[in-house]
Amino acid sequence: MANTFALILVILTFVTGIVWVIDKLKWGPARKAARQAAQDQAEVGLDEKTLATIHPENVLIENARSLFPVIAVVFVLRSFLYEPFQIPSGSMMPTLLVGDFILVEKFSYGVKEPVWQNKLIPVGEPKRGDVAVFKYPEDPRVDFIKRVVGLPGDSIVYKDKQLYLKPACESQNCGNYKALDTQLLGKETFKDQPGMVEVYSEILGEVAHQILISPHIPDRAASFYQQSDVKTYQYEWIVPEGHYFVMGDNRDNSADSRFWGFVPEQNLVGKAVATWISFEFYRDPNGLLPTWVPSGVRFERIGAIK
């Protein structure tokens, strides 16, 4: 499904670019020649205001010509380099909080055309531990952000709130599942997070990060996604080729691959690399004021995303 905003941006860039080129090659020289002819025929020098009335430029053409450089820069930046996103939920806490505004590196997983997201130049692939933005497989109009846990061919188990991993290998004897290296850091309470949660450090691939576990929330294994093409346990998945298994760092408050399946490679938007600003939002206990009103800036959150 096409990205509507990207499609609009492509059309605007194309239309204003055509106007800019035609103006450079035809309309602009014609205006200049007409005004020069008028200046040559005048007995006195004509000021700029008078010259502007000779062979006047159409307002729409003038605006399109002026806007093209700005739109072109936005198009290149947003489509191929970096795109801003806002974090709307707490599924990636404590790594990302509601109100964080992040930058996503669009070329991390290959240079793609901006509308249909077909790969043009293979640059890189997701690594285990990346924080990735992707189109939600069940509704590509919606952007999701999660951490890449499983790569193509990996075997994943999530049982009793513990993550186990068996990386893909070519031989038949791939060894056994290994639990990820985790360590309890303590218990905390978070805004936008009900109850007290346990904070763990976790090492996923080469990435060390923190996760949240809510001991008061029961295991939801009965709702886990079940593969139809392979025989696995209720809590086990084998990542297909060209797909990825993703999870939120807020393990008990995240709708992720455990519940709806795998992310196709084509759905990948890019890698989240930095938080460029973070707002704390005012919450009126009486519900009279809007919840989107910023009440402060969290400067300490600005920086790289791990």
Q: Where are the domains of the chain?
A: 4-80, 87-304
The yes/no answer on whether domain 87-304 falls in CATH 2.10.109.10 is yes
Residues 99, 301: Cα–Cα separation, whole Å: 11
Find out whether 96 and 145 touch, Cβ atoms under 8 Å: yes
Return the sign of the alpha-carbon dihedral for residues 102, 211, 92, 259.
Answer: positive
pLDDT of amino acid 44: 75
Give pLDDT, residue 1. 42
Catalytic residue numbers, as ranges: 91, 146
Burial tier of 91 (Cβ tally within 10 Å: 0-12, 13-18, 19+): buried
Helix, strand, coil abundance in the chain, percent, nearest 5: 25, 35, 40
Please state the pTM of the whole predicted model: 0.88
pLDDT for residue 291: 65
8 A C-beta contact, residue 6 and residue 79: yes
pLDDT of residue 262: 98
> What is the model's pLDDT at position 38?
83
Q: How far apart are CA 172 and CA 130, in angstroms?
A: 28
Residues of the chain scoring pLDDT < 70: 1-2, 43, 171-173, 283-292
